[in-house]
Amino acid sequence: MRTRRLLWVSVPVLLLLIWSVVYPSVNVITASFASGLDDWRTFLTNPSDRDATWATIVVSVWSVITAMLIGVPLAFALTRVEFRGRRLLSAVAVLPAALPPLVGVIAFLFLYGESGVFTRTVQHVFGLAEPPWTLTGLPAVIFVHAYTMYVYVYLFVAAGLERYDQSLDEAAAGLGATRRMTLRRVTLPMLTPALAGAALLVFMSALGSFSAPYVFGGGRRVLATQILASKLNGAEGLAYVETTVLAVTAVLALVLFRWLEGRRRYTSAGKGRAPRVAIRSPFWRRAAPVLAVGLVLTLVLPHLMVALVAFARDGTWTTQILPPEYTVDNFRRLATDPQLWRPITNSVSMSLAATAANVVICFLAAYLIVLTRAPGRRLMQLLVVLPWAIPATAIALGLAATFNRNDPATGRVLLVGTFWILPLAYFVRNVPVVAGAVESSLRQMDPSTEDAARGLGASWWLTIRRVVLPAARPGLIAGAMLAAVAAVGEFVMSIVLSTHANRPISMEILSQLRDFSFGTAAAYSLLLILLVLIITASARWAEGRWMSQ
Amino acid sequence: MSSGALSLAEVTKRYPGAERPAVDGVSLQVRSGELLALVGASGSGKTTTLRLAAGYEQPDSGDVILAAADGSARTITGVPPERRGFGMVFQHYALFPHMTVEENVAFGLEARGVRKRERLERARQALASVGLEGKGGRSVQALSGGEQQRVALARALVIEPPVLLLDEPLSNLDPTLRQATRDELRTMLRRSGVTALFVTHDQEDAFAVADRVAMLRFGRLLQVGTPEELYHEPASRHVAEFIGRASLIPAEWRGEAQARIVAGGVAQEAPVFVAERGHPDARGGWLAVLRPEALAVTSPDAAGAWRGEVASRRFTGGGHYELTVRLEGGMALDVLSTAGDVREGSRVGVSLRPGVRPVPLVLA
């Protein structure tokens, strides 16, 4: 009886998820066989496809390794050691994650590219005739990934160390273990779930990464960029094969990591984090603050660079180390030229629309998954994580293959070429993060409070409004924030699906770069960073207002 | 308060995939204004029984019947909890963490469409009745465990429920607080006159709060009665073992008023109470339920006494010692003694204290 009432909620949510998440993926796979096995044969024999597949794996594996090498020591240093500069460093340590993907990439271009500020400074200082390096090829891609993705490792390991029961290390020391042995035999094994979770996140992000390979790849392509190239060359069938291969690789990686993660999971009930210790060696005590300041500069530089170039007059920065002329014209033009203003309103409104849909649908899905015995909730649980396993390029291509004509009989609506295709894409992409955040909030709720409300005579709606929604609120706010940030700066799906009607900021940045209008591109980027800050601040504000209530 | 009477009639509930029913043909009546405790070990089905009564679970068969104060009875088996109007106090209280104490208590009235001014007034009264005047504006998370329990009680009582259900209401409190709280709980429930069914795994809580106690085991109801009945007249071995301390010693009985209780080759005669009189299967023989206070320590050579050695000795206050005496032949007896000179390792005799109640006999 109650179950039947839940069906009115669960069936529409399930159908919507199947229609927007599963159906496009199925269409990609079907389309890859549209001309029999021909496209698959082409894929297997084509040298550039083989190279792209290999490059994808190399980039992903090395991204994991480099991100670990930066993130793990940084997490240990910031949670376990006390030194001058620690607070400042931990404040900026997550900064790279706040850069929208394309913005991070162009900041690197301005800094470390062939004509970048850092590159030219080195060239100038050492009096070299040629730039000391070219930021191109797979090492460049891995370099950019390491810089942006170590944050995941840092956050996961730091969180693991915050929860880590210090008495385990003390017990090991008491049994005569050296610090190295304690680290190797006790601390790191206990952190395995955190390390595996972070490795998975980096691997998946690197696998689907588009902007870094697109800008810095040079002649080398990874699958994500190869898909776009095939599509633009008119080899649609091949693009679908490449998409299928990429998506299947991603899902296999997900399964593999989950298996590794599940093999080692420990719980410990400890008194929590150990107090930070001071550095004993006099050398390191002096070196640590210098290192910290150096790191802080490295982390802040890309942001500063974007801010600086945003005020550079377009066309004046040629061979100088720093742009020679500064102006606020770039911003004035953005605000006054309707053509240039349009992408900003587009990005904001599409992000808002997609996030609103995410909030409603993901709240309902998380509610059904966590708090009810609604039929089909296990399927729903799978559907809400699926878009996370599928790289963004693959999602975009799936949507392009599905919503390209009106055919109600097969559930197709013509959205390609309209405004709404991108909000739909952002929505699909962000289902996992919003649903995940709400789910974890609801799991912390004592389920008997819902029973208590019903026992006190509250209707279903009153219970949802007064008990479930407040419990879900922290997750809803955090999830909505992440979704809005991701959508407002989205680039990968936009490059496949955007049209004149919904051209977002990221596409405009790209075209300004192509025109060598670095100043305008940087102004857009700065604006994007500002939008991200506004979204983050409003989420903080909403959370704070909520807490003080 | 209009207290109703709640009946369960042959209620059975089996969870999918479970080997046996969680609740198996339980029939039980909570009379109007009565405090009835459901006791049993974990997994005995007591919480499921409570949830069936509340409507959070639906029985596979059987009925839940509510008789109003005017005597009219109606079956409420399929009625969802929000329309039963019962009060419920949850084990971890299930207070809404984002609401103040007052908002928590007023919530049930809000659900009933009571206007804000009135519901806050009534919430304040309810809080006063549980001794929490002036704490309405606090966050529930700022309260102690005992205070939280009283908020949960006020929240359940303010809607004037015909029946109040309490799931392990004392289990979350530390031992010292628990003793004081259970007396208070009984006083508050008595004062409100509500009909209450409460679940506990602790027999002492049940005895302290309830008028009658119902004992469950493996989903079946073993016995319902006053605490004295369960203690002195257990319906079966499981009740005797669960309720109070007892040593179970083989006895010979052929239907008379007396039985011979045999340990270490020595028999003592005692008057007996037999609940399972006429049970078709008495092949396993009978066991005498010897409570510690029904036994006395004598000298080892006293005529007819069971002889043994004191294996352990605990001072329980008030000049009493609890002794465990290991008899010749291996059986152990718990004995309540006032003799301070008995040490561990002393050889003693144990006799039935003269003039005590009939000794319960149960099937082995």
Tens-digit pLDDT profile for residues B123-178: 999 999 888 998 999 988 889 888 999 999 999 999 889 999 999 988 888 888 88
Are A297 and A290 a contacting pair, CB within 8 Å? no
What phi and psi values does residue B169 have, to the nearest 5 degrees?
-65, -15
Check residue A176 and give its pLDDT. Answer: 66
The Cα of A161 is separated from the nearest Cα of chain B by a number of Å equal to 27
Q: Which residues from B are below 8 Å from A459, CB to CB?
A: 82, 111
CB contact under 8 A, A448 and B54: no
Helix (H) or strand (E) holding B75: strand B73-75
Dmax over CA atoms of chain A, in Å, equals 81
**Residues B272 and B308 occupy one common structural domain:** yes
CB contact under 8 A, A466 and B96: yes
In the block, tokens 């049994």 appear at A175
Check residue A271 and give its pLDDT. Answer: 47
Integer-rounded Cα radius of gyration of chain A: 25
Q: Which residues from A are below 8 Å from B54, CB to CB?
A: 451, 455
Among the listed residues A430, A362, A358, A429, the one whose alpha carbon sits nearest the alpha carbon of residue A398? A429
Chain A residue with Cα closest to B113: A458
**Partners of residue B29 on adjacent β-strands:** B7
CB contact under 8 A, B111 and A549: no
Tokens for A58, please give them. Answer: 């190399």
Q: Which residues from A are below 8 Å from B149, CB to CB?
A: none
Q: Which residues from A are below 8 Å from B81, CB to CB?
A: 451, 454-455
**Residues A318 and A413 occupy one common structural domain:** yes
Q: Which residues from A are below 8 Å from B106, CB to CB?
A: none
Chain B residue with Cα closest to A462: B111
Please name the member of B80, B92, B107 whose beta carbon is closest to the beta carbon of A456. Answer: B107
What phi and psi values does residue B115 have, to the nearest 5 degrees?
-65, 155
Check residue A266 and give its pLDDT. Answer: 58
Angle in degrees, 0-180, between the axes of helices A282-310 and A101-112, rounded to the nearest 10: 100
Are B122 and B106 a contacting pair, CB within 8 Å? yes
- Chain B contact present for A470, CB below 8 A: yes
Are B14 and B22 a contacting pair, CB within 8 Å? yes
Domain count, chain A: 2
Test mutation, A5, A449, A456, chain B, max B CBs within 10 A:
A456
Tokens for B311, please give them. Answer: 């294996």
**Residues B226 and B258 occupy one common structural domain:** no
Are B5 and B195 a contacting pair, CB within 8 Å? yes
Q: Which residues from A are below 8 Å from B84, CB to CB?
A: 455
- Chain B contact present for A549, CB below 8 A: yes
**Residues B118 and B259 occupy one common structural domain:** no
Q: How far apart are CA A202 and CA A71, in angstroms?
A: 11
**Residues A243 and A349 occupy one common structural domain:** no
CATH code at position B354: 2.40.50.140
Q: Which residues from A are below 8 Å from B78, CB to CB?
A: 1
Check residue A2 and give its pLDDT. Answer: 62
Among the listed residues A230, A285, A243, A225, the one whose alpha carbon sits nearest the alpha carbon of residue A31? A243
**Residues B104 and B154 occupy one common structural domain:** yes
- Chain B contact present for A547, CB below 8 A: no
Where in the sequence is the domain holding A56, given as residue range(s)?
33-267
Per 3-state DSSP, chain A is made up of helix, strand and coil in percentages (nearest 5) of 75, 0, 20
Check residue A275 and give its pLDDT. Answer: 67
**Residues A435 and A319 occupy one common structural domain:** yes
Strands B332-337 and B320-327: antiparallel
The neighbour count for residue A337, using CB atoms within 10 Å, is 10
Residue B165: helix, strand or coil by DSSP? strand
Instruction: Report yes or no on A285 lying in a domain.
Output: no
Tokens for B119, please give them. Answer: 């519901």
Q: Which residues from A are below 8 Å from B112, CB to CB?
A: 457
User: Considering the entire predicted model, what is its pTM?
Assistant: 0.80
Instruction: Report yes or no on A288 lying in a domain.
Output: no
What A34-38 contacts at long range (C-beta under 8 Å, 24+ apart), as own/partner pairs, is: A34/A237, A34/A240, A35/A237, A38/A237
**Residues A94 and A162 occupy one common structural domain:** yes
CB contact under 8 A, A467 and B96: yes
CATH code at position A506: 1.10.3720.10
**Residues A336 and A454 occupy one common structural domain:** yes
Among the listed residues A366, A497, A498, A378, the one whose alpha carbon sits nearest the alpha carbon of residue A24? A497
**Residues B267 and B182 occupy one common structural domain:** no
**Helix locations, A81-177, DSSP H:** 86-92, 101-112, 117-125, 138-163, 166-174
Q: Where are the beta strands (DSSP E) in chain B?
A: 5-13, 23-30, 35-39, 61-67, 73-75, 87-89, 163-167, 195-200, 212-217, 220-225, 247-252, 258-263, 266-274, 286-290, 295-298, 306-317, 320-327, 332-337, 347-352, 359-363
How buried is A137 (Cβ within 10 angstroms: 0-12 exposed, 13-18 middle, 19+ buried)? middle
Identify the DSSP state of B357: P
Among the listed residues B218, B264, B99, B139, the one whose alpha carbon sits nearest the alpha carbon of residue A467? B99
Instruction: Report yes or no on B240 lying in a domain.
Output: no
Instruction: Report yes or no on B239 lying in a domain.
Output: no
Tens-digit pLDDT profile for residues B75-94: 999 888 888 888 889 888 88
**Helix locations, B14-74, DSSP H:** 46-54
Q: Which residues of A39-57 are buried (b: 16+ CB within 10 A; e: fewer)?
A: bbebbeebeebeebbebbb
Residue B93: helix, strand or coil by DSSP? coil
**Partners of residue B197 on adjacent β-strands:** B36, B165
**Residues A362 and A390 occupy one common structural domain:** yes
**Residues B25 and B159 occupy one common structural domain:** yes
CB contact under 8 A, A455 and B87: yes
CB contact under 8 A, A466 and B90: no
**Residues A328 and A463 occupy one common structural domain:** yes
**Residues B183 and B309 occupy one common structural domain:** no
Test mutation, B56, B86, B98, chain A, max A CBs within 10 A:
B98
Instruction: Report yes or no on B238 lying in a domain.
Output: no
- Chain B contact present for A457, CB below 8 A: yes
Q: Which residues from A are below 8 Å from B80, CB to CB?
A: 1-2, 454
Identify the DSSP state of A407: B
Please name the member of A446, A457, A462 whose beta carbon is closest to the beta carbon of B94. Answer: A446
**Residues B349 and B201 occupy one common structural domain:** no
Please name the member of A446, A457, A467 whose beta carbon is closest to the beta carbon of B159. Answer: A457
Instruction: Report yes or no on B327 lying in a domain.
Output: yes
Taking only residues 32 to 71 of chain A, the set having a beta carbon closer than 8 angstroms to any beta carbon of chain B reads none
CB contact under 8 A, B94 and A452: yes
Are B11 and B200 a contacting pair, CB within 8 Å? no
Q: How far apart are CA A404 and CA B251, in angstroms?
A: 88
- Chain B contact present for A444, CB below 8 A: no
Please name the member of B91, B98, B107 whose beta carbon is closest to the beta carbon of A453. Answer: B107
CB contact under 8 A, B88 and A457: no
What phi and psi values does residue B317 have, to the nearest 5 degrees?
90, 165
Domain count, chain B: 2
Residue ending a domain, choose from B197, B232, B267: B232
The neighbour count for residue A285, using CB atoms within 10 Å, is 13
**Residues B123 and B175 occupy one common structural domain:** yes
User: Within 13 Å, how many C-alpha atoms sit on residue A390's CB side?
Assistant: 31
Check residue B218 and give its pLDDT. Answer: 95
Q: Which residues of A459-484 are buried (b: 16+ CB within 10 A; e: fewer)?
A: ebebbbebbbebbbbbbbbbbbbbbb
**Residues A316 and A450 occupy one common structural domain:** yes
Instruction: Report yes or no on A272 lying in a domain.
Output: no
Q: Which residues from B are below 8 Å from A454, CB to CB?
A: 56, 80-82
**Residues A48 and A165 occupy one common structural domain:** yes
Chain B residue with Cα closest to A470: B98
Calculated CA dihedral for residues A137, A138, A143, A145, nearest 10 degrees: 120
Instruction: Report yes or no on A286 lying in a domain.
Output: no
CB contact under 8 A, A451 and B110: no
Please name the member of B88, B95, B110 whose beta carbon is closest to the beta carbon of A455. Answer: B88
- Chain B contact present for A543, CB below 8 A: no
Instruction: Report yes or no on B237 lying in a domain.
Output: no
Instruction: Report yes or no on A512 lying in a domain.
Output: yes
Q: How far is CA A383 from the centre of its chain?
A: 19
Residue ending a domain, choose from B183, B208, B232: B232
Q: How far is CA B52 from the centre of its chain?
A: 18
Are A157 and A193 a contacting pair, CB within 8 Å? no
Are B69 and A442 a contacting pair, CB within 8 Å? no
**Residues A19 and A41 occupy one common structural domain:** no
Q: Which residues from A are below 8 Å from B160, CB to CB?
A: none
Number of CB pairs, chain A paired with chain B, less than 8 A apart: 77
Listed in sequence order, the residues at least 6 apart from A313 whose beta carbon sits closer than 8 Å to its beta carbon are: A323, A325, A326, A327, A329, A519
Q: Which residues from A are below 8 Å from B85, CB to CB?
A: 457
Stronger pLDDT, A163 or B194, i.e. the higher one = B194
Please name the member of B82, B98, B155 whose beta carbon is closest to the beta carbon of A454. Answer: B82
- Going B186 to B34 to B2 to B86, the CA torsion angle's sign is positive
Please name the member of B81, B91, B97 whose beta carbon is closest to the beta carbon of A454. Answer: B81
pLDDT at B339 over 80: no
Listed in sequence order, the residues at least 6 apart from B98 whose beta carbon sits closer than 8 Å to its beta carbon are: A470, A471, A549
Where in the sequence is the domain holding B293, given as residue range(s)?
245-363
Start-to-end CA distance of chain B, whole Å, equals 46
Q: What is the mean pLDDT of residues B20-49?
A: 94
Instruction: Report yes or no on B12 lying in a domain.
Output: yes
CB contact under 8 A, A458 and B54: no
CATH code at position B10: 3.40.50.300
Check residue A485 and give its pLDDT. Answer: 93
The Cα of A436 is separated from the nearest Cα of chain B by a number of Å equal to 21
Please name the member of A2, A451, A457 whose beta carbon is closest to the beta carbon of B111. Answer: A457
**Residues A8 and A67 occupy one common structural domain:** no
Q: What is the pLDDT along chain A (549 residues), one digit of tens a residue?
A: 366 778 888 899 999 999 999 999 999 999 999 888 888 998 999 899 999 999 999 999 999 999 999 999 999 999 888 888 888 898 888 888 778 888 888 898 889 988 888 998 999 899 888 888 888 889 999 999 999 899 999 998 988 888 777 767 766 766 667 777 778 777 887 888 888 888 998 999 999 999 899 988 888 899 999 999 998 888 889 999 999 999 999 988 888 877 776 665 555 544 455 667 778 788 888 888 888 888 898 888 988 999 999 998 888 887 788 888 888 899 999 889 988 999 999 999 999 999 999 999 999 999 999 988 888 888 998 899 889 888 899 999 999 989 988 888 888 888 888 899 999 999 999 999 999 999 988 988 888 898 899 889 888 889 999 999 999 999 999 999 999 999 999 999 999 999 888 999 999 999 998 888 889 999 999 999 999 989 989 988 888 776 655
Instruction: Report yes or no on A238 lying in a domain.
Output: yes
**Residues A66 and A12 occupy one common structural domain:** no
**Residues B187 and B254 occupy one common structural domain:** no
Q: How far apart are CA B263 and CA A53, in angstroms?
A: 83
Q: How far is CA A12 from the centre of its chain?
A: 28
Instruction: Report yes or no on B170 lying in a domain.
Output: yes
Q: How far apart are CA A344 and CA A520, in angstroms?
A: 13
Per 3-state DSSP, chain B is made up of helix, strand and coil in percentages (nearest 5) of 25, 35, 40
- Chain B contact present for A548, CB below 8 A: no
Identify residues of B whose CB sits under 8 angstroms from chain A CBs: 54, 56, 78, 80-88, 90-92, 94-98, 107-108, 110-112, 155-156, 159
**Residues B56 and B121 occupy one common structural domain:** yes
Q: Which residues from B are below 8 Å from A460, CB to CB?
A: 82
Stronger pLDDT, A182 or B269, i.e. the higher one = B269
Tokens for B77, please give them. Answer: 């088996």
**Residues B224 and B263 occupy one common structural domain:** no
Residue ending a domain, choose from B208, B232, B256: B232
- Chain B contact present for A471, CB below 8 A: yes
Q: Which residues from B are below 8 Å from A448, CB to CB?
A: 90-92, 94
Among the listed residues A173, A153, A151, the one whose alpha carbon sits nearest the alpha carbon of residue A277? A173
Q: How far apart are CA A87 and CA A201, in angstroms?
A: 26
